[in-house]
Amino acid sequence: MVKKEWILNIATNRWGLNKKASVGPVSKWIRDVNPKTLEEWKKKYFEKLKEFLTKKGIQLTPEEYLNDLGNKLYVKITEVIQKEIEEVSLEDCINYIEKLVISRTFEGYLTEITTVYGILQKELKKLKISIEPAPDELDRKYNVDFYIQVGNNRIGIQIKPITYEQTPEFHKWKNWSETSHKKFEKKFGGKVFIVFSTKINGKNQIIDEENVLNNIKAEIERLKILNSQSR
């Protein structure tokens, strides 16, 4: 199965068979349910998927619906992708590799340094501190997008566009985030900072950037002192 998974992932993502429109907002659902076992999650997911399908006017059971998605995936791989593979030439492969390592790497670099992550990374490099993308477990359990390792401790970073403050669910989200962020602080010793961003002339900017950066730097220094005292 591991050998086949790469092509299954590619095809699933390409045709959006794992998107909300196809399988429902699974990330939200699992957080709402907070299951303790795989079986509990499967049962709850099927219940929510049944409601989801009814609203869309799809007259299939959850099991039948997932089976249908699997059939669609099979057709896309064995018919569409197979035909496309046959059309790939040696020249296509050579041109692709050159473009990948030169043009796309440079384009990715330009994009990265203008993201909120890029802004934070640039400042933290001055302190010889790096910011890392949070693994799925940290994201799911504690609602953090990035983390900063300081000795034995971690600082969490959650990024939100400023427009999120105007959404109806903002109050619920705020309460939920505060709870999960307190758990993060208890587990890893560092605070979680919510960084709000906006776009000006197509570029990302951090709201109240100077204050945000100063607070993060102060927390880094606090944890450095804490680590040195515990030695």
Overall number of domains in the chain = 2
Does 209 or 174 have the greater pLDDT score? Answer: 209
In a domain, 97, yes or no: no
The answer to whether residues 131 and 224 belong to one domain is yes
In a domain, 205, yes or no: yes
Residue 177 in contact with residue 193, Cβ under 8 Å?
no
Whether 111 has a pLDDT exceeding 70, the answer reads: no
The answer to whether residues 63 and 155 belong to one domain is no
| pLDDT at residue 40 in the model | 95
Residues 140-150: pLDDT tens digits?
888 888 899 99
Whether 157 has a pLDDT exceeding 60, the answer reads: yes
The answer to whether residues 202 and 131 belong to one domain is yes
The answer to whether residues 66 and 157 belong to one domain is no
| pLDDT at residue 208 in the model | 84
| pLDDT at residue 80 in the model | 93
Of the residues 66, 86, 106, which one is the last residue of a structural domain? Answer: 86
Residue 157's SS3 state is strand
In a domain, 167, yes or no: yes
Q: pTM here? A: 0.52
d(CA 190, CA 184): 8
What is the extent of the structural domain holding 136?
A: 116-229
Residues 48-70: pLDDT tens digits?
999 999 999 999 999 999 999 99
